[in-house]
Every structure is written in structure tokens, then in C-alpha cells.
Amino acid sequence: MRRRLVRAAALALLLALGAGLTVALLHAPSHGDLGSGPLTIRTQLSPQDPQFGDTVIATLDVSGARANLRVRSNFAPYEVVSRRRSVRTAGGKPFVRIVTRLRCLELSCLPRASVKTFRLKPVRVSGKAHAWPPLRVHSRITKADSARPVLRVPPPAATPARYRVSPTAAGTILLVLAGLLAAGGVFVLLRVALRKIAPTRRPLPPLERVLAELAASSSNGDSGRRRRALEELARALEPLDEPLSVESRVLAWGPDEPPPGAVTDLATRVRQEVRP
């Protein structure tokens, strides 16, 4: 009976020691996160009264913590642009600073009135929550802008024109070409008009040409020229009138010079009797 009581007491003692050890482990401070003293947490937003679209800097300072401090933060609806963490020693205690740059250009951050207040979710440092100060965002639109909305459009900026050929040079070349074309047209018109005005000279028939040469030789007194003209007249008359052809050749090559009267009489009879 006594042995059973001893065994029960020993078992109860072991269970009590195990429970105490478990509770101590659960409530013991984490030496990987904390230093030897209590934590001092400070939060700051700069600027605390920004305008819409401005960058906000959230600074978290923790004193008495080690470098591997566990921090959980949520800055919605703001977006984290960058984050920088630094660790140093201040007053013999470890000091951790986390600087986060925030920005929000969404409609959810746009103030409907002149000011909109945001309360960011608390930051958790090793399981402990710490609140951020309120963030008051101011609108960039004034009452005057709301009363008289104006669309501001900057003046158009025209790029300078660039030409492969200078406009002055191109205009001069075109004027010269137009003048040349106009002169050519005038020349063609004048030539056509002069053709219509000038009388057309018909070429003389061979017989008329010979008679004209015979008349010229009779007037200037050149007997040699007159004989050659009579010979040409005889050749021209051969297919037309043989007697007149013989008479012209006799006058041409007779021993005496052809008398002017006989030559004139022959030319008159040729014009009257011969039709080429």
C-alpha cells in the first residue's frame, strides 16, 4: 500500500514539473528578438498632413531589440516604394530604425472633401501592436477650382519646318520654268500664224523655169547664156512639141547669134501652143 502511494506521489511530481517547464518555455522572452531590457517603440509619419500624391515617410524606431527583430506592417491603401533598415547601439542598448517610403495615386486615396483622414493598420513588433499617428491627406483642388473648373491646355509647340530645297529657290526655279514654257507656247503660236499669213510659193514647172531663164538671158545680152537656155528649152519641148524643139535648137547652135526678136517670138509661141 505504501509503495503505491509513493509511486503515485512521484508520478504527480513529475507531471507538475513537466507542466511548469512547459509554461516557463511558453512565457519566456525570445532572446533572439529582445535585448536585456523592455522594448521602446516609436512611430512617426512625415509629413503627417500631405497633399494628394505626396510621398509619405513612415519611421519605426525600436529601442532594446536585437538586429533580427520581427516586424509586420500593412500600409494599405498606400504602396511601399522603398524600405531601409538600420541597426546601431544607443546608450548601450540596441536600436533598430526602419524607414519606409509610401505613395498612393489611386482613387481610394483621393480626398472627396478638402481633407481625408487615414488610420493605417498598427505595426506588430515581435507580436506587440503599436498604432501609427493619423494621416490627414489634403486635396489639391481648392473651392475656387471647384466653382470655376477650367481645362488648362498648354500652348502648342510647333517644330520648325525643314525643307530639302529653300522655298525661295524653289519658287524662283518654278517661275523660270513657267516663263520658258510660256515663251515656247508663244513661239509655236506665232509660227502657225505666220504660216497661214505668208503666201505659199508653188514651184515653177520645168518649162516655165526654162522660159524665165531665156527671158533673163535675152535681157542681159549674154549670148552664151542665151544659147544654153535655148538648148534647155529644146530638151523640154522634145516630148511636147517637136517642131518647136527643132526651131529652138537651130537658134541655139546657128552660126550667127540668136536674134532677140526670134527668141522672143519663140517664147511667145511656146506659151500659146504648148500645155505641159
Domain boundary (91, 119, 141) is at 141
Containing structural domain, residue 214: 206-273
User: Is the same domain home to 210 and 129?
Assistant: no
pLDDT higher than threshold 50 for residue 28: no
More confident residue, 70 or 258: 70
What share of residues in the chain are helix, strand, coil (percent, to 5)? Answer: 45, 20, 35
**Residue 35 included in any domain:** no
**Residue 31 included in any domain:** no
State pLDDT tens for residues 247-256: 888 877 878 7
Which of the listed ranges 78-82, 143-147, 170-174, 242-246 does the model predict with the highest average pLDDT? 78-82
The mean pLDDT value for 139-149 works out to: 73
**Residue 22 included in any domain:** no
Residue with C-alpha cell 518555455? 25
More confident residue, 225 or 276: 225
**Residue 64 included in any domain:** yes
**Residue 1 included in any domain:** no
Q: What's the confidence (pLDDT) of residue 170?
A: 87
Q: What's the confidence (pLDDT) of residue 52?
A: 92
pTM here is 0.43
Alpha-carbon gap, residue 161 to 143, rounded angstroms: 44
Q: Tell me how long the chain is.
A: 276
Spatial CB neighbours of 238, under 8 Å, sequence gap ≥ 6:
245
H or E segment and range at residue 194: helix 167-197
- Residue pair 57/102 in contact (Cβ under 8 Å)? The answer is yes
State pLDDT tens for residues 176-220: 999 999 998 888 888 888 776 655 555 557 777 877 777 777 776
CATH of the domain at 59: 2.60.40
Which residue type, as a one-letter code, is found at position 193? Answer: A
User: Is the same domain home to 57 and 137?
Assistant: yes
pLDDT higher than threshold 90 for residue 149: no
Which residue type, as a one-letter code, is found at position 88? Answer: R
User: Is the same domain home to 210 and 131?
Assistant: no
Task: State how many domains the chain has.
Answer: 2
Q: Which of 86-100, 176-190, 251-265 has the lowest average pLDDT?
A: 251-265
Alpha-carbon gap, residue 8 to 17, rounded angstroms: 14
**Residue 80 included in any domain:** yes
Secondary structure of residue 223 in the 3-state scheme: helix
Q: Which of 3-7, 70-74, 239-243 has the lowest average pLDDT?
A: 3-7
**Residue 167 included in any domain:** no
- Residue pair 248/237 in contact (Cβ under 8 Å)? The answer is yes
User: Is the same domain home to 45 and 134?
Assistant: yes
User: Is the same domain home to 45 and 137?
Assistant: yes
User: Is the same domain home to 45 and 124?
Assistant: yes
Q: What's the confidence (pLDDT) of residue 178?
A: 92
State pLDDT tens for residues 103-117: 999 988 989 888 999
Q: What is the DSSP letter of 114?
A: S
Q: What's the confidence (pLDDT) of residue 30?
A: 44
Which of the listed ranges 161-165, 173-177, 221-225 does the model predict with the highest average pLDDT? 173-177
Domain boundary (86, 113, 141) is at 141
Nearest C-alpha neighbor of 268 from the set 228, 233, 221: 233
Alpha-carbon gap, residue 154 to 57, rounded angstroms: 33
- Average pLDDT score over the chain: 80
pLDDT higher than threshold 90 for residue 137: yes
Domain boundary (122, 141, 160) is at 141
Angle 92-97-100 from CA coordinates, rounded to 5°: 180
Q: What's the confidence (pLDDT) of residue 34?
A: 41
**Residue 150 included in any domain:** no
pLDDT higher than threshold 90 for residue 152: no
